[in-house]
Structure 1
């Protein structure tokens, strides 16, 4: 799903702040769509999950990428196989610590592409097949 926001946009001065700005925008977008934000920047030794939220009884792990004006490449190009594997491992750690093995879950991606006067938000659902990424297994979250 693509959404375009027009109007005055105040971009952060530093690149490292751009990622935080994008995550803030993504949270606002998700909340406006009825998602409930549970965690932000949840870290484990296996990686970081940008946003963890719930929607319609599902646990949703959201990876956010933001590209500023003039950036090369699209936001989604950063979601390579190694990154997917780290996200799945981090999500498994979260599910384990939360005792949420029975909760349906998915991985979404939100890409924000900025130009001088607009932000284009692209929200993709189910972008990672967790068990395929981990080399097979059966379809539930349980590791056994």
Structure 2
């Protein structure tokens, strides 16, 4: 496995732990359909939250959360609708969050969690 892939997997694991620490329930990870992938689908109270996880080893090229453009956010909203339909989930509030992680020299992550990206 490439170092980038290992870092990404570690970041997704850290993001899932972060959400669980907030009391959220992780429903699904790495859900795929022909149109794309959702990193994490979770429940925050009565809301379904789709979380896009961006992990970096530095901020040399900008903060990880900056990688989610309005176009990407719109795609995540469409994928969330696909997930709801695929899972037979009725009308519930849905939100898209972005979790940006940056690894320090010791491998620990700083976490930036943006809620309600549109």
TM norm structure 1: 0.74
Which residues of structure 1 form unaligned runs of 5+? Answer: 1-11, 129-144
- Greater Rg over alpha carbons, structure: 1
Which residue is 1:31 aligned to? 20
What residue is the counterpart of 1:122 in the other structure? 112
1:61-80 equivalent positions in 2, closer than 5 A: 61-69=50-58, 71-80=60-69
Distance in 2 of aligned mates of 1:100 and 1:85: 20
CA distance in 2, matches of 1:79, 1:70: 15
Superposition deviation, residue 73 in structure 1: 1.5
Supply the distance in 1 between the matched residues of 2:101 and 2:55 (Cα, whole angstroms).
5
**Alpha-carbon deviation of 1:39?**
0.4
In structure 2, list runs of 5 or more residues that go unmatched: none
Of 7, 10, 29, the match for 1:40: 29
Query: Which runs of structure 1 show a deviation greater than 4 angstroms over 4 or more consecutive aligned residues?
Result: none
Alignment of 1:1-144 (within 5 A): 14-69=3-58, 71-117=60-106, 118-128=108-118
TM-score (norm 2): 0.89
Distance 1:69 1:93 in 2: 33
More helix by share: 2
Give the direction of change, closer, same or farther, for the CA distance of 1:99–1:14 in structure 2 (3 Å limit): same
The count of corresponding residues between Structure 1 and Structure 2 is 117
Deviation, structure 1 residue 101: 3.3
Greater mean alpha carbon deviation, residues 78-87 or residues 58-67: 78-87
